[in-house]
Amino acid sequence: MLKVSAPGKCILLGEHAVVYGHPALAVSIDMRLEINIKKLSSKSEYHMIEGKEIKRNHHPHIFDAINEIWGADSQKLAFEISSEIPTSAGLGSSAALSVAISMGLVTLKNEKIDLEKISSIAHKLEADSQGGLASPMDSSTSTHGGCILLANEKLGKNWLYSRTLNNKKWEIHSFELHQNIKDVAIVIGNTGIHGSTGDLVKGVKKRLEENPKLIQDIEAINALTALGVNAIEQGDVETLGAVMNLNHTHLQNIGVSCKELDDLVSAARETALGAKLTGAGGGGCMIALSKNPKQTARDIELAGGRSYICKFGVEGVKIEDSMID
């Protein structure tokens, strides 16, 4: 049985500003999705998952990956999936699945492992399942691990590659985390509320049209992302925490936070270096950078959230067990 795992992700800085052409910064987290794949006998008629036939309306990522990589008429396969990543929480669970299945099927075909190719396939799987629209941020972060910066232009020596899909182009960059950054934890607080990314993006657009001065908040988020990248490279955790706090204020100003997120952020700041919402907002999760993660997690729980303590900047997709039938 072939075992592959891929990490989830959280966005550190740059939410919503990325929609307007500015960079956004994401890190991999040590919540992982694992997929087990084995070949079935020649008598098998269907690809199976958890003992059931794989159908596109139920398992679009896996169904499309089989057609894209393995071939629908090739030997049938059986899949089992387990995941530590909460779904519909903005933590990259869908991308982790796309990345892990892509790596697994490419490995089964005995093809050379090329992480850029894995990321590209996974990005396409994500876009196809979302009606043709998807940023490569989640798939790139889950593939490569570490710290990924998404931008619309090449930004210096940390550039990895360009990605184009449906006439839209992105530039992917990778940054090393300073040891000081690795010594702190990300504490995630989940509100349990599921916001619609599409609706939230549309809401920001509408508010910007009604109040053009809000573009100043978008520009401020852009500037803070640049400061955050520098803090990560320099190992300045205090500055990174302060930048996160300011980023959250600007996200509040453009109307994508909510009381539940603000309550968790406020509670976390009692013991954290900084805290902010992560992802589209309107619910979902917040993150806190903390040297006292257990205390920060407790404060988040007392404020009504579900907490998770995570290492971040962890290894990307990897083969856990390569024993193939």
The residue from 138, 217, 236, 299 that is catalytic is 138
Interatomic CA distance for residues 85 and 131, integer angstroms: 23
Among the listed residues 25, 20, 23, the one whose alpha carbon sits nearest the alpha carbon of residue 232: 25
Task: Please say if 138 is a catalytic residue.
Answer: yes
Q: At 187, which amino acid appears?
A: V
Please say whether the beta carbons of 90 and 130 come within 8 A: no
Interatomic CA distance for residues 209 and 215, integer angstroms: 9
Please say whether the beta carbons of 257 and 277 come within 8 A: yes
Q: What is the largest CA-CA distance in the chain?
A: 65
Cβ atoms < 10 Å from Cβ of 194? 12
Residue 81: phi, psi to the nearest 5?
-125, 135
- Active site amino acids: 138
